[in-house]
Structure 1
């Protein structure tokens, strides 16, 4: 008889109930070739997690009891996800997991939406992952929201899954203090492979589009979702389509560096219909690159409805026909998001100074930027024009861009230089040029004619009433979502 069997028999009946377990836990050499070919025993390899060895029948009974217990606690498993995972055989252990997740801030509805959370070991999964997230800077008060947004994180290994992703983010120049912000905005990033989707997306933007590597970190901070986008199906088609409209790829790169959220616009559902809407409302195809460069967010707006509403308003209140409206949109595409009561303020100011409705409409079509100006600034500039410059109002009607220049830093000093030299020139001649060019003109022996050029330029940035603009995405960063400043020319 085998020595191990003699030992069990010597222990007597008290050991008979545990004999099978002991045989499973200790290595036993096969007694013969016939024995080795026998079918596997009823009990499979026990799990050392619970310290309880169960057979098939016992496991079925335990699972039924566990499901009934969770159902009584308010957790449902309608999809049957728990059928394919191992649940603790002890209801006390299951109660401990349930209490822990509820104390974390999750609800029974959250657990019903993802019941696999109850299959996570607290010691091996939940506690190490949550402790790691807290160490990274995710506050305890926000852990519940984090798990609710990406519950699969509790199945991950800190060393194998989470830590490499965080190291990859740091390698992309994401500041350490911005890591929790990135994770909270896009918790699914923890499920990505650093050498897979993340590296492919970054490589395309840097190598093909031309995004500066130093700007990848800020892009990730403001819009981390592009790290999970497929290059072949999402990023590349969008970039190539925008470039096909005539926008140089290097300009697109500069736009993406400041507004990476554009990568999230759906090409077929949003971008292409918006381009078609611009064309259908009279915007010329050759002007599309300038429109996009000035206001990239126009590609993601519900544009057709906005254009229709603004065109009707311009025709009804400002007496500007559809063609004039299209020309104004080409020069200032932000008009589609400007509140109508803000538009009326400078219009009423000009009309109140005796300028006819027809002349006001012509001024707006030529220089729609005047619709963004505050009445106080326009009042001061008009007073100086009448009292000091003493020029006919017709010059102002022909060059409404005058209102967009700073009175103190450009209009006054340049006019004084021109008046001192006794030069008689147009407003365009001494205002619409750089400081260097103006000095050259002051040193010249003759006055050159006005050179043809853009219909509107200016010597600085134009302040826009950002708080009065319609914004369709209030969750984006202020520099990205709010139309606060713009530069008219590229």
Structure 2
């Protein structure tokens, strides 16, 4: 008798099974690729009751204490169900580069799931361009980032930065300098700060470079930080357009504390004899002066100027107005040009006058002074008194300006003062040689607080210069950015 075996009927292929099969195949294909980080292998385990959870928390707390972690702050957050999961989290963070001390500084980091929080965030940061060896420093400075959602919180911030024209390669640099940016909402403080800066004249295309230079501006509140600073600087007499140009290049000024540093420093400048009408030019030339420990520096330099350079306090104030950087210059370096002039027979009093009139002399190397002085005496055959009256001669390039123009003057048989043929552009010098007009020697620009910029001889400027606004001329002539 044949024993008939009954076969199981085939399982019909339904749409649900077909989708499940495709999902399984897709998962297998993705699993074949090497992951950027090794995913945790330990699961959370079975659902625990209240008593089991309390027991697990005690066991995990004992484990953390045994390795040096203080678990006190973890009482308010959910912890994994087993010690194995916590051990894996701790080992992952240590492998990343964090120490036990780093974890104790922010123990809530142990509440972040490796699979749901830590690994996605680190992978995204590395994708942005942060090198893996520097991820530990990033997390150490802003551990809250591991609580963030990549899609909901991190991606919008990066898109906002790119929308401001922050270069893609600069995004890691910006985030490294100010990691807290990843905790802001683009539609909040960041958007408001940018909108205000644009409203005062900052060019939208320059916002990106400003953020790259000083990303902290995106976290500053307009009403309490940015606007009071801007209004104070405008109150000094700086034209709005010029202030906008300065902020584009020296954005860090917004980071100075207005009440504790900036306002007291302005008062210090006035107390040392700097004229109020000269404050705009001082700030534009050397914006860092607003953030220095200014009283101590000015006191030290004023004493040095009086003792070694024989410059009285009033002369020192005029020198600061013309070159505010002298508050931070090395005294030994400043003394070398002075000693050079004295060694050439120029009296101390005249050298002091030269320094007050052109403090840029203190920045020049002695080798350059020697060459210019030798040409002045041997080729130009002029008297020392002309150098005392126009010490700016030493600030002009000997090869590209002084020698060629002296040669042309000699060919034309023109005898004039140093300032007449040196203190002008090439185009203006050619016009002077042709004799199109006659003008006296001009001094530098001056700025009157509350009024427009007045340039001596301004009516003689070329059409190209006339197209510039008063503020632009002030900025161009007083600031080298």
Q: How has the CA–CA distance of structure 1 residues 113 and 451 changed in structure 2, closer, same or farther, with 3 Å as cutoff?
A: closer
- The answer to whether residue 164 in structure 2 is matched with residue 172 in structure 1 is yes
**1:137 maps to what in 2?**
129
Q: How does 1:22-421 map to 2 (within 5 A)?
A: 50-77=44-71, 80-207=72-199, 209-421=200-412
- Superposed CA deviations along residues 221-275 of structure 1, whole A, max 9, x for unmatched, are 1111111111111111111111110111211111111111111111111111111
Structure 1: gaps of 5 or more residues: 1-48, 458-485
In 2, Cα distance between equivalents of 1:180 and 1:453: 44
Shift of 1:451: 4.2
CA 1:379/1:197 → structure 2, altered by over 3 Å: closer, same or farther? Answer: same
Mapped contact 1:294–1:487 kept (Cα < 8 A): no
On the 8 A contact 2:45/2:81 being kept in 1, the answer is no
Distance 1:335 1:50, change over 3 A: same
Number of residue pairs aligned between Structure 1 and Structure 2: 410
Q: 1:182 to 1:300 in 2, by over 3 A?
A: same
Q: 1:487 to 1:361 in 2, by over 3 A?
A: farther
Compare 404-413 and 150-159 and name the one that shifted more.
Answer: 404-413
**Alpha-carbon distance between aligned partners in 2 of 1:68 and 1:238, rounded to the nearest angstrom:** 52
**97-106 or 410-419, larger mean C-alpha shift:** 410-419
Aligned partner of residue 257 in structure 1, secondary structure: helix
Relative distance call for 1:182 and 1:449 in structure 2 (3 A) is closer
Q: 1:453 to 1:91 in 2, by over 3 A?
A: closer
Q: Distance in 2 between matches of 1:100 and 1:330?
A: 58
Identify if the C-alpha distance between structure 1 residues 306 and 258 changes in structure 2 by more than 3 Å, giving closer, same or farther.
same
For residues 137 and 478 of structure 2, the distance between their equivalents in structure 1, rounded to whole angstroms, comes to: 43
CA distance in 2, matches of 1:59, 1:266: 50
Give the RMSD, CA atoms, in angstroms.
1.7
2:405·2:421 contact (CA, 8 Å) conserved in 1? yes
Query: How many Å apart are 1:365 and its aligned residue?
Result: 0.4
Distance 1:333 1:488, change over 3 A: farther
Shift of 1:390: 0.8
1:378 is displaced (CA, Å) by 1.1
1:51 to partner: Cα distance: 3.8
Residues 449 and 137 (structure 1), Cα distance of their counterparts in 2 relative to 1, 3 Å cut: closer
1:418-477 C-alpha deviation (Å, 9 max, x unpaired): 22222221111111122222222111277533345549x9xxxxxxxxxxxxxxxxxxxx
Asked if 1:426 corresponds to 2:423, the answer is no
Per the normalisation by structure 1, the TM-score is: 0.81
In structure 2, relative to structure 1, the CA distance for the partners of 1:448 and 1:221 (3 Å cut) is closer
Q: 8 Å contact 1:294–1:488 — kept in the other structure?
A: no
Distance 1:143 1:73, change over 3 A: same
User: Which residue of structure 1 lines up, in the alignment, with residue 472 of structure 2?
Assistant: none
- Structure 2: how far apart are the matches of 1:65 and 1:369? 71
- Whole-Å Cα distance in 2 between the matches of residues 107 and 453 of structure 1? 59
How far did 1:487 drift?
6.8
SS at match of 1:68: helix
The CA deviation string for residues 384-416 of structure 1, in whole angstroms up to 9 with x for no partner, is 111111111111111101111111111112122
Query: How much does 1:320 deviate?
Result: 0.6
Partner of 1:46: none
Kindly state the Cα deviation for residue 206 of structure 1 after the two structures are TM-superposed: 0.9
> Whole-Å Cα distance in 1 between the matches of residues 302 and 420 of structure 2?
33
Residue deviations 1:98-142 (CA, integer Å, cap 9, x gap)? 111111100111111111110000010001110111111111100
Aligned equivalent of 1:5: none
Report the TM-score when normalising by structure 2: 0.83
User: Could you tell which deviates more after superposition, 393-402 or 49-58?
Assistant: 49-58
After superposition, give the CA deviation of every residue in 1:347-369 in whole Å (9 maximum; x if it has no partner). 11111111111111010001101
